[in-house]
């Protein structure tokens, strides 16, 4: 029983990280039809600069932790918005070129990060409470899992409220459905492109800080390793569906954890099988629009 509870908590924590990456990927694809391969770089940079901010204040204090979260989110948002403005926008409507430029950016930034911070993982610390565990139904759950899950849920709620209650959110929802018709109402839909990049970048940057706590280190490859699973989550959930991304994040992470434990470390393999299965049965994903 305690093993199952521990696997559930770890899986939900990992799912929370997947969601923070996948939410942006899904929104960006839904609105702009761009698969953003540079999304992992937003995460990595958020993690590094967030960690730098925490160290500067006091990495073991809550102030340092909160500052690292804010810095991570801000860095992610700014870098993502700049990426959209400087690299994606000039290639308007040229989807293949847009994807290629994000692939190039991801390769170049990983090399850049390795140049700055080296290739070795940089082990990090947080507030002492986060390093301890709490007993839940006989399992010792690392406290950072609760923080990660809690923050991801807050991000999900914040994005949903933004999409439902604000005019920009309405423009984004309408644009995901039918971008041409949004422009035919006199709305400059390109402004919302920058906005979804910024929102997705903020979630990814914040996710980078949390991922560093989850794994215990930051490294230039942090983003890339999460990005692959986030892509799988996005496809399984249905490209463009935020709810789909949230559900698929949890399913994929739990499946991965349980398969790793009970089926001899086959978690990644099982996820790829699940992806193939979903694509065969529901090609548009769990909650995606029918193609």
Partner 1 sequence: MRITPDNRAPASSPVLVVEHLSASVAGQQVVEDVSFTVPATGITAVLGRNGVGKTSTLKGLMGLYRRSGAVTLAGERIDALPTHKVVQRGVGYVPEDREVFARLTVAENLRLAERAGSATPERRELVKRLFPDLVQRRHQMAGTLSGGQQQMVALARVLLNDNRVLLVDEPTKGLAPLIVEQVAEALREASVTVPILLVEQNLEVVRHLAGEAVVIAGGRVVHTGSATELLSDESLTRRLLGVHTDTDREVHP
Residue ranges that bind partner 1, judged by CB under 8 A: 167, 170-171, 173-174, 177-178, 180-189
Decide whether 55 or 183 has the Cβ nearer to partner 1. 183
The secondary structure of 3-68 as a DSSP string is HHHHHHHHHHHHHHHHHHHHHHHHHHHHHH----TTHHHHHHHHHHHHHHHHHHH-TTSHHHHHHH
Decide whether 1 or 167 has the Cβ nearer to partner 1. 167
Decide whether 180 or 281 has the Cβ nearer to partner 1. 180
Q: How near is the Cβ of 30 to partner 1 at its closest, in Å? A: 11
Q: How near is the Cβ of 170 to partner 1 at its closest, in Å? A: 6
Q: How near is the Cβ of 167 to partner 1 at its closest, in Å? A: 8
Q: How near is the Cβ of 178 to partner 1 at its closest, in Å? A: 6
Dihedral pair phi/psi, residue 31, rounded to 5°: -85, -40
Decide whether 85 or 107 has the Cβ nearer to partner 1. 85
> Strands 122-123 and 217-218: what pairing?
antiparallel
Write b or e for each residue in 237-262: b if 16 or more Cβ atoms lie within 10 A of its Cβ, otherwise e. bbbbbbebbbbbbbbbbbbbbbbbbe
């Amino acid at each position: 029983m305690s093993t199952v509870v521990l696997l559930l908590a770890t899986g939900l924590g990992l799912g929370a990280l997947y969601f923070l990456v996948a939410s942006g990927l899904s929104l960006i694809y839904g609105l702009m039809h761009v698969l953003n391969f540079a999304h992992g770089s937003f995460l990595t940079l958020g993690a590094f600069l967030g960690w730098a901010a925490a160290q500067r204040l006091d990495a073991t204090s809550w102030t340092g932790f909160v500052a690292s979260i804010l810095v991570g989110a801000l860095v992610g948002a700014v870098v993502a918005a700049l990426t959209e403005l400087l690299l994606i926008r000039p290639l308007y409507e040229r989807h293949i070129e847009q994807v290629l430029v994000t692939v190039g950016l991801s390769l170049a930034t990983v090399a850049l990060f390795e140049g700055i911070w080296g290739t070795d993982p940089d082990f990090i610390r947080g507030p002492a409470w986060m390093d301890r565990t709490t007993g839940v139904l006989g399992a010792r759950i690392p406290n950072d899992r609760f923080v990660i899950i809690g923050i991801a849920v807050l991000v999900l709620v914040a994005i949903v409220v933004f999409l439902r209650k604000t005019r920009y959110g309405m423009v984004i929802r309408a644009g995901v459905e039918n971008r041409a018709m949004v422009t035919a109402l006199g709305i400059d839909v390109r402004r919302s492109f920058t906005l979804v990049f910024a929102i997705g970048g903020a979630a990814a940057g914040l996710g980078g800080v949390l991922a560093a706590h989850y794994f215990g280190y930051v490294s230039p490859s942090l983003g890339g390793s999460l990005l692959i699973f986030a892509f799988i989550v996005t496809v399984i959930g249905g490209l463009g569906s935020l709810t789909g991304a949230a559900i698929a994040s949890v399913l994929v992470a739990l499946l991965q954890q349980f398969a790793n434990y009970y089926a001899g470390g086959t978690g990644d393999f099982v996820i790829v099988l699940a992806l193939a299965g979903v694509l065969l049965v529901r090609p548009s994903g769990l909650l995606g629009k029918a193609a």
